[in-house]
Amino acid sequence: MRRSLSLSRLFENVFGLGTLLLLLWPLAYAVWISFTPSELLEPPRGELSLRWYRRFFELPQWTAGLWNSLKVAGLSVVGSLVGGTGLAVAATRYHFRGRRLLSGVVLLPLFVPAVVLGMGLLPWLRFLGLWGSLWSLAAGHGLWSLPVVFLVVRSALEEVDPSLEEAARGLGASPFLTFRRVTLPLILPAVLSGAVMGIVLSLNEFMIALFLATPDTETLPKVIWPNLRYTLTPLVAAASCVTMLLTLLGLALTASLLRVERFVDRLVSRGKQ
């Protein structure tokens, strides 16, 4: 009995660790290959080389793609932060007609296949005259970051003790001042992590870009796409390592910002004692 139990435990651990490793493997392998000195898609033997990274920054089409990706991510996240945070505050702090409906509709884009969104956005943005500008891509990516920011900020707002805001209002602060000095500092971590999630989504998004990008507005995934289909070079691996590095930098930056903030908090509260 006991032996069979430990045997099943062993099996479970092997399965669990094995699956986790399998999940990480494609990613790790792509990173590894991006350092190859060879012309072909093969893992580096012996020394590592940065030649494919140098190549990446030498090719104007690829660096332009990277710039476009960053601009689109920035534009879409600004819109989603304003829209998502506003909606989250309204949904948790006010009663108004359509509150439930709006909280549901904002999540809908997450459940509509990206192809369908792209197919609808393409004729509509051409009609609006936005097609061919980075705004069109930002609009498409905003459809995903808006619900993400909304969800994250809403759950943070539900945690905030309402008596803090009541106290500020009771002491004569305007609703806006209350939000800026009491609520916003408390939900800032959530707002920041929502923003980072939105940026990550946008940097790696591919379907909407496939439908909306024009030669002037290609984002990096759109530049990678034909290369992946027809010619395989280690350049693709290097390019995606660059995006991943940016993503990780963003995450690290957010984490350290939050830590600095907590540190300041602690200093302030200690000073008061």
Partner 1 sequence: MTPHRSRHGGRPYLLVAPAVALLLLFFVAPMLQLVRVSLYEGGGRSGFGIGGGGFYKPGTWTLQAYRTLLGETYFREVLTFTVLLGVGVAGITLAIAYPLSLFIHRLPPRAKSLALTAVVLPKLANVLVLIYGLELLLSSSGPVNGLLVGLGAVSEPVTLFHNLPGVLIGETYLILPYAVLVLVAALDRIDPTLLPAARGLGAGPLWAFWRTTLPLSAPGIALAALLSLIWALGAFIGPVLLGSPQELTLAVEVQRQTFENINWPRGAATAVLMLVTLAACLTLYQVPARILRRWRSMP
Contact pick of 72, 152, 191, 200 for partner 1 (by CB under 8 A): 200
Binding-site size for partner 1 (CB under 8 A) equals: 90
In angstroms, give the least distance from the CB of 256 to partner 1: 17
What stretches of 11-159 adopt beta strand conformation (E)?
A: none
- CB 195 within 8 Å of CB 187: no
In angstroms, give the least distance from the CB of 268 to partner 1: 27
| Contacts for 149 with CB less than 8 Å, ≥ 6 apart | 80, 81, 83, 84, 85, 88, 191, 194, 195, 197, 198
Residue type (1 letter), 29: Y
Q: How far is CA 213 from CA 143, 197, 222, 252, in A?
A: 16, 22, 8, 30
Contact pick of 7, 10, 24, 253 for partner 1 (by CB under 8 A): 24
Cα 11 off chain centre by: 36
- Residue 39 makes contact with partner 1 by CB under 8 A: no
Site string for partner 1, 44-83 (x = CB under 8 A): -----------------------------------xx-xx
Contact pick of 72, 73, 77, 139 for partner 1 (by CB under 8 A): 139
CB atoms within 10 A of CB 40: 9
- Residue 29 makes contact with partner 1 by CB under 8 A: yes
Site string for partner 1, 77-116 (x = CB under 8 A): --xx-xxx-xx-xxxxxxxx--x--x--xx-xx-xxxxxx
Q: Output 68 or 243, the one with its CB closest to partner 1.
A: 243
In angstroms, give the least distance from the CB of 58 to partner 1: 20
> Three-state SS for 114?
helix
